[in-house]
Structure 1
Amino acid sequence: METLRIEVEGAPEAALAALAAEAELWGAGWEGHARGGRLDLPVLYGLRRGRVRGEIALAPRSEDPEAGTEIGWHPGEAEIHVHRPAVAILLLAAAAGLGTLLWPFFPRLIRLLPAALLLSLTAWWLVVARLRNAGPREFLDAVHARLGGEAG
């Protein structure tokens, strides 16, 4: 993972408050101090999910504390795993789809065609249509939206 940076309006204290509020909304572990803190963030990457830990560093953009703050995310360790129930549903749908491809060679399988179609559509609605991404970039975008500023 790469280091991420954003620039927001306001003093570092306001950025710390926004980070703490967003961390609470995301269900993240947040240990803040005057110049940043440690963030334990739950993440979703399609069929993968887990937690990413990293350091947040705050730096004022200039001498004037109200001129804005730069927030930097420095990733640390990550625990990412595959969401097994979703993969199992997709594998079941793939097996049903394979059956629909084989029916010309095995005509008895045509009776299973409606069930295979239903199973494939159900897998789509249960898994693929609900895939989301939520990681450090989205977290910092939420902090940015809360405070305003330039995306970096």
Structure 2
Amino acid sequence: MMKKMLLLVFLLPLAAMAQDRGIRFEHALSWKEVKEKAKKEGKFIFMDCFTTWCGPCKKMSTEVFSEPAVGDFFREKFVSVKVQMDKTSADNEAVKSWYADAAAIEKKYSVRSYPTYLYFSPEGKLVHVGHGSMSAASFLDTSARALKPATRTSPTR
């Protein structure tokens, strides 16, 4: 029992450090506050639209969003937010506070598959959309395209 406790005490700081190296998602801000922060900082907005039941969403969170290179790029260029698009009985107050915005985002931007990545300009205008599970390199490439008008997708909204 004591060995397990010591191992846990040793591993917890390492896990916290690993998490800190990936994308830092805003958990305490509303959609309005995310947009205000992005505009103030002159950064684009990255929105990960996910569901609790989505395997590829979980894979992206654990294997790609946690990568140090991904975290470095996103901390410099984006204000990032994760938006849970489904509702469960286990949802905390932070998730519940996004229910109305999540439904509006899903409708306005036709989010129909998961994960969907929405990229907004610092002014809050949708400029690029990405979908699905991918490698860290592909995800960085997709995200870099959002920053350049010539390489963006052409959202109609």
TM range (shorter): under 0.3
More strand by share: 1
Give the number of the structure with larger relative contact order, counting CA–CA contacts within 8 Å between residues 6 or more apart: 1
Q: How does the TM-score come out when normalised to structure 1? A: 0.23
TM-score (norm 2): 0.23
In terms of Rg, which structure is larger?
1
